[in-house]
Structure 1
Protein backbone atom coordinates (compact mmCIF):
# COMPACT_ATOMS: atom_id res chain seq x y z
CA UNK A 1 0.00 0.00 0.00
CA UNK A 2 1.34 3.39 -0.98
CA UNK A 3 1.54 6.03 1.70
CA UNK A 4 2.06 9.49 0.25
CA UNK A 5 3.41 12.44 2.24
CA UNK A 6 2.87 16.08 1.30
CA UNK A 7 6.24 17.79 1.04
CA UNK A 8 5.67 21.12 -0.74
CA UNK A 9 3.52 23.19 -3.05
CA UNK A 10 4.29 22.70 -6.73
CA UNK A 11 4.99 26.44 -6.95
CA UNK A 12 7.73 26.08 -4.31
CA UNK A 13 9.87 24.42 -6.98
CA UNK A 14 10.50 26.63 -10.05
CA UNK A 15 9.88 25.26 -13.53
CA UNK A 16 13.13 23.73 -14.87
CA UNK A 17 14.45 23.88 -11.32
CA UNK A 18 14.88 21.90 -8.13
CA UNK A 19 14.76 22.13 -4.36
CA UNK A 20 16.31 20.10 -1.58
CA UNK A 21 13.44 18.87 0.56
CA UNK A 22 14.04 17.78 4.15
CA UNK A 23 11.58 15.20 5.41
CA UNK A 24 11.48 13.32 8.69
CA UNK A 25 12.83 10.36 6.69
CA UNK A 26 15.76 12.18 5.10
CA UNK A 27 16.55 14.68 2.36
CA UNK A 28 15.76 14.30 -1.33
CA UNK A 29 16.15 16.53 -4.37
CA UNK A 30 12.81 17.33 -6.02
CA UNK A 31 12.86 18.46 -9.65
CA UNK A 32 10.18 20.18 -11.75
CA UNK A 33 10.28 20.14 -15.54
CA UNK A 34 8.97 22.83 -17.89
CA UNK A 35 5.87 20.63 -18.31
CA UNK A 36 5.27 20.59 -14.50
CA UNK A 37 6.31 16.95 -14.09
CA UNK A 38 8.00 16.23 -10.77
CA UNK A 39 10.76 13.76 -9.99
CA UNK A 40 12.60 12.92 -6.77
CA UNK A 41 16.19 11.67 -6.61
CA UNK A 42 19.00 11.35 -4.11
CA UNK A 43 20.76 14.70 -4.04
CA UNK A 44 24.37 13.44 -4.19
CA UNK A 45 25.99 12.71 -7.54
CA UNK A 46 27.84 9.35 -7.32
CA UNK A 47 30.93 10.88 -8.95
CA UNK A 48 31.94 13.50 -6.35
CA UNK A 49 28.74 13.93 -4.30
CA UNK A 50 27.77 17.08 -6.19
CA UNK A 51 24.46 18.61 -5.04
CA UNK A 52 22.09 17.67 -7.87
CA UNK A 53 19.40 20.05 -6.57
CA UNK A 54 21.79 22.85 -7.60
CA UNK A 55 22.18 21.41 -11.11
CA UNK A 56 20.64 22.51 -14.40
CA UNK A 57 17.32 20.87 -15.30
CA UNK A 58 16.81 20.34 -19.04
CA UNK A 59 14.04 18.20 -20.45
CA UNK A 60 13.85 15.17 -18.16
CA UNK A 61 17.52 15.37 -17.14
CA UNK A 62 19.67 17.19 -14.62
CA UNK A 63 23.32 18.14 -15.03
CA UNK A 64 25.51 17.94 -11.92
CA UNK A 65 26.91 21.39 -11.06
CA UNK A 66 30.38 20.05 -10.23
CA UNK A 67 31.50 17.93 -13.18
CA UNK A 68 28.65 18.06 -15.71
CA UNK A 69 27.46 14.48 -15.35
CA UNK A 70 23.93 14.21 -16.75
CA UNK A 71 21.27 12.06 -15.05
CA UNK A 72 17.84 10.98 -16.21
CA UNK A 73 15.17 12.29 -13.85
CA UNK A 74 13.04 9.26 -14.75
CA UNK A 75 15.57 6.48 -14.08
CA UNK A 76 18.45 8.10 -12.18
CA UNK A 77 20.90 6.63 -14.73
CA UNK A 78 23.92 8.65 -15.87
CA UNK A 79 23.73 9.46 -19.57
CA UNK A 80 26.46 9.45 -22.18
CA UNK A 81 29.90 8.07 -21.34
CA UNK A 82 29.46 8.56 -17.58
CA UNK A 83 28.66 5.49 -15.50
CA UNK A 84 26.60 5.74 -12.35
CA UNK A 85 23.15 6.01 -10.94
CA UNK A 86 21.25 7.85 -8.24
CA UNK A 87 18.20 6.46 -6.48
CA UNK A 88 14.78 7.70 -7.60
CA UNK A 89 11.61 7.95 -5.54
CA UNK A 90 7.97 7.98 -6.63
CA UNK A 91 6.61 11.53 -6.72
CA UNK A 92 3.36 13.01 -7.95
CA UNK A 93 1.37 16.23 -7.98
CA UNK A 94 -2.10 16.33 -6.51
CA UNK A 95 -4.11 19.49 -5.94
CA UNK A 96 -1.05 21.67 -6.55
CA UNK A 97 0.96 19.80 -3.90
CA UNK A 98 4.01 17.56 -4.38
CA UNK A 99 3.70 14.14 -2.75
CA UNK A 100 6.42 11.54 -2.12
CA UNK A 101 5.93 7.85 -1.39
CA UNK A 102 6.76 7.31 2.30
CA UNK A 103 7.44 3.59 1.71
CA UNK A 104 10.39 4.34 -0.58
CA UNK A 105 11.79 6.94 1.82
CA UNK A 106 11.62 4.40 4.66
CA UNK A 107 13.48 1.84 2.51
CA UNK A 108 16.13 4.46 1.77
CA UNK A 109 16.62 5.42 5.41
CA UNK A 110 17.03 1.73 6.37
CA UNK A 111 19.74 1.13 3.77
Structure 2
Protein backbone atom coordinates (compact mmCIF):
# COMPACT_ATOMS: atom_id res chain seq x y z
CA UNK A 1 0.00 0.00 0.00
CA UNK A 2 2.90 2.35 0.54
CA UNK A 3 1.49 3.40 3.92
CA UNK A 4 1.39 1.42 7.17
CA UNK A 5 -2.21 0.55 8.01
CA UNK A 6 -1.91 2.15 11.44
CA UNK A 7 -1.08 5.47 9.77
CA UNK A 8 -4.01 4.98 7.40
CA UNK A 9 -6.35 4.37 10.35
CA UNK A 10 -5.21 7.64 11.92
CA UNK A 11 -5.75 9.56 8.67
CA UNK A 12 -9.16 7.98 8.18
CA UNK A 13 -10.25 8.78 11.73
CA UNK A 14 -9.07 12.37 11.37
CA UNK A 15 -10.82 12.72 8.00
CA UNK A 16 -14.11 11.63 9.59
CA UNK A 17 -13.83 13.89 12.63
CA UNK A 18 -12.78 17.45 13.14
CA UNK A 19 -9.95 18.33 15.44
CA UNK A 20 -9.47 15.59 18.06
CA UNK A 21 -7.02 15.15 20.92
CA UNK A 22 -4.05 12.79 21.00
CA UNK A 23 -5.71 11.09 23.98
CA UNK A 24 -8.84 10.41 21.94
CA UNK A 25 -6.67 8.91 19.20
CA UNK A 26 -4.92 6.68 21.75
CA UNK A 27 -8.30 5.53 23.06
CA UNK A 28 -9.68 4.82 19.59
CA UNK A 29 -6.60 2.87 18.47
CA UNK A 30 -6.34 1.23 21.89
CA UNK A 31 -2.63 1.97 22.11
CA UNK A 32 -0.44 3.75 24.63
CA UNK A 33 -0.25 7.54 24.40
CA UNK A 34 3.52 7.39 23.89
CA UNK A 35 2.97 5.25 20.79
CA UNK A 36 0.45 7.80 19.50
CA UNK A 37 3.06 10.54 19.99
CA UNK A 38 5.56 8.60 17.84
CA UNK A 39 2.91 7.87 15.22
CA UNK A 40 1.77 11.50 15.04
CA UNK A 41 5.41 12.68 14.94
CA UNK A 42 5.89 10.61 11.78
CA UNK A 43 2.68 11.86 10.17
CA UNK A 44 3.41 15.46 11.12
CA UNK A 45 6.94 15.32 9.66
CA UNK A 46 5.45 13.97 6.43
CA UNK A 47 3.01 16.90 6.33
CA UNK A 48 -0.05 14.66 6.66
CA UNK A 49 -1.26 15.82 10.09
CA UNK A 50 -1.07 19.01 12.10
CA UNK A 51 -0.73 19.10 15.87
CA UNK A 52 -1.64 22.29 17.72
CA UNK A 53 -2.08 23.18 21.37
CA UNK A 54 -5.62 22.98 22.67
CA UNK A 55 -6.67 26.59 23.37
CA UNK A 56 -8.73 25.46 26.37
CA UNK A 57 -6.03 23.24 27.90
CA UNK A 58 -2.44 24.03 26.93
CA UNK A 59 -1.29 20.61 28.18
CA UNK A 60 -3.20 18.90 25.36
CA UNK A 61 -2.65 18.73 21.61
CA UNK A 62 -5.36 18.77 18.94
CA UNK A 63 -4.88 16.79 15.73
CA UNK A 64 -6.15 17.53 12.24
CA UNK A 65 -5.58 16.01 8.82
CA UNK A 66 -3.92 18.19 6.16
CA UNK A 67 -4.80 18.35 2.45
CA UNK A 68 -1.79 16.10 1.77
CA UNK A 69 -3.03 13.69 4.43
CA UNK A 70 -6.46 13.61 2.83
CA UNK A 71 -4.87 12.84 -0.57
CA UNK A 72 -2.79 10.03 0.97
CA UNK A 73 -5.89 8.62 2.71
CA UNK A 74 -7.89 8.68 -0.53
CA UNK A 75 -5.06 7.02 -2.49
CA UNK A 76 -4.71 4.28 0.11
CA UNK A 77 -8.49 3.76 0.22
CA UNK A 78 -8.48 3.32 -3.57
CA UNK A 79 -5.71 0.70 -3.31
CA UNK A 80 -7.62 -1.15 -0.58
CA UNK A 81 -10.80 -1.13 -2.66
CA UNK A 82 -8.94 -2.41 -5.73
CA UNK A 83 -7.29 -5.20 -3.74
CA UNK A 84 -10.62 -6.13 -2.16
CA UNK A 85 -12.28 -6.26 -5.58
CA UNK A 86 -9.62 -8.67 -6.82
CA UNK A 87 -9.87 -10.82 -3.69
CA UNK A 88 -13.68 -10.97 -3.72
CA UNK A 89 -14.19 -11.05 -7.50
CA UNK A 90 -15.99 -14.40 -7.36
CA UNK A 91 -18.63 -13.15 -4.92
CA UNK A 92 -21.85 -11.44 -5.94
CA UNK A 93 -22.66 -8.05 -4.43
CA UNK A 94 -25.19 -9.76 -2.16
CA UNK A 95 -22.59 -12.29 -0.99
CA UNK A 96 -20.12 -9.48 -0.30
CA UNK A 97 -22.74 -7.65 1.79
CA UNK A 98 -23.51 -10.82 3.74
CA UNK A 99 -19.83 -11.47 4.37
CA UNK A 100 -19.32 -7.87 5.51
CA UNK A 101 -22.30 -8.00 7.86
CA UNK A 102 -21.21 -11.34 9.34
CA UNK A 103 -17.62 -10.13 9.75
CA UNK A 104 -18.84 -7.12 11.72
CA UNK A 105 -21.02 -9.37 13.86
CA UNK A 106 -18.09 -11.73 14.54
CA UNK A 107 -16.02 -8.72 15.64
CA UNK A 108 -18.75 -7.63 18.06
CA UNK A 109 -20.30 -4.80 16.08
CA UNK A 110 -23.97 -4.31 15.36
CA UNK A 111 -24.03 -3.95 11.56
CA UNK A 112 -27.27 -1.93 11.77
CA UNK A 113 -25.52 0.74 13.84
CA UNK A 114 -22.59 1.22 11.46
Compute the TM-score of the two structures, normalised by the length of structure 2. Answer: 0.27
Structure with greater strand percent = 1
Please give the TM-score of this superposition, normalised by the length of structure 1: 0.28
Q: Which has the larger radius of gyration?
A: 2
